[in-house]
Amino acid sequence: MSSASAISLRGVVKRYGDLTAVAGLDLDVPVGTCVGLLGPNGAGKSTTMKILTAQAIAQEGEAEILGHRLPGDSKAARARMGVVPQQDNLDQALSVRHNLYVFAHLYRIPRHEREAAIERALEIATLTDRADAQVKELSGGMRRRLLIARALVHDPELVLMDEPTVGLDPQVRQELWALIDHLRNEGKSILMSTHYIEEAERLCNTVVVMAKGRAVAKGTPHELIAEHAGESALEVYGPVARLAEVEADARDRGWATRRTGTSVTILNAHVNGDYPEGIRRASNLEDVFVLLTGEAIH
């Protein structure tokens, strides 16, 4: 089973009218690994997540989760996985414990194990102290932890996380990263969508870069950087006119560049070469991301 895939998608296509949200996606999540779907808004990450829970039905392609074919066998697959949604859909009027209790039922945990399962989920999410608080009293970070606890109450083999840290403070994000890392070390298979580069870099064994409904690159963060952005990059600062000049010059020489707000970054800048004055830094996944998914924000 160790070489098998927890998730396997082949040529999946999903159209909404004229809009093609997912355009022939191939995706594998090997058992026990964390795969990150990295892409800008509108790349098809959330639609992919919906296809995996059979809330969206693909028009073409094949999808399998833990050996169950979708959408026909989706319910059996859903019984064995947990889903952390992007949008808070907790029961606001209920306590933390009651939210977990409902899902302990839905995930068909036998009666005599329910209490222990809820306590365990509370502990993982460090919400034991707030178990009897109402959801509407919780902070954003606590709610997100509760969403994760709810997805883990039945100790699933696979966890789907759709933008698990979107909209949270950096401190809270660190906390959630530690929690997700813990799950990874426990051997759970994880598929997580994100548009935070640092998140993918820190947590994912494999990153799949998505753009316009397709997987445009795949590999470990290191591989992706080495392959697409090279070892180092050069950031050139200056007034707008100077930046345009550097950009034009780079284009003539066939160098890849990207705008980094106040500077222009020349990617794959070799140690020896006739480069303009600038600050040299290690290439990162963000360089890859922008290179592969385009500069313009749609």
Partner 1 sequence: MASIASRLRASDEPRRLDRHSILGVLVREMINFTAYWKSTTFSSSVEPTIYLLAFGFGLGALVDQIDGHTYVEFVGTGTIATAVMMSSVFSAMFGAFFKAEHQHTYDALLAAPVDTEEIVTAEALWIGLRASVYGCIPMFVAMIFGLDPAWGMFAVPVIAFFTGFGWACFGLIFAAILNSVDHFSYVTSTIVTPLFLCAGTFFPISTLPSAIEFAANFNPVYHCVELVRGFIFNTQSFGDVAFHVSVIWAFSFICWRIAIRCQTKNLIH
When asked if residue 31 is in the footprint of partner 1 (CB under 8 A), the reply is no
CB of 63 to partner 1, least distance (A): 15
The span from the CA of 180 to the CA of 177, in Å, is 5
The smaller minimum CB distance to partner 1, of residues 41 and 55, is found at 55
Q: Which of 26, 64, 157, 175 binds partner 1 (CB under 8 A)?
A: 157
CB of 18 to partner 1, least distance (A): 15
Half-sphere exposure of 188 (CA within 13 A, CB side): 25
Total binding residues for partner 1 by CB under 8 A? 40
Beta strand pairing call for 158-162 and 189-194: parallel
Using the rule CB under 8 A, give the single segment among 2-10, 85-93, 190-198, 225-233 that binds partner 1: 85-93
When asked if residue 57 is in the footprint of partner 1 (CB under 8 A), the reply is yes
The smaller minimum CB distance to partner 1, of residues 71 and 219, is found at 71
Using the rule CB under 8 A, give the single segment among 28-36, 105-113, 241-249, 257-265 that binds partner 1: 105-113
Which two three-digit tokens encode residue 298? 């749609």
When asked if residue 83 is in the footprint of partner 1 (CB under 8 A), the reply is yes
Q: Helices in 44-169 by DSSP H: which ranges? A: 45-52, 74-79, 96-106, 111-124, 140-152
Peptide bond into 30 cis (omega under 30): no
Q: How many helices (H) and strands (E) does the chain have?
A: 10, 14
Coil, strand or helix at 271: coil
Coil, strand or helix at 295: coil
Q: Which of 64, 155, 198, 245 binds partner 1 (CB under 8 A)?
A: 155
Provide the binding-site residues for partner 1, judged by CB under 8 A: 16, 50, 53-57, 75-76, 78-81, 83, 85, 87-94, 98, 101-103, 105-110, 113, 117, 150, 154-157
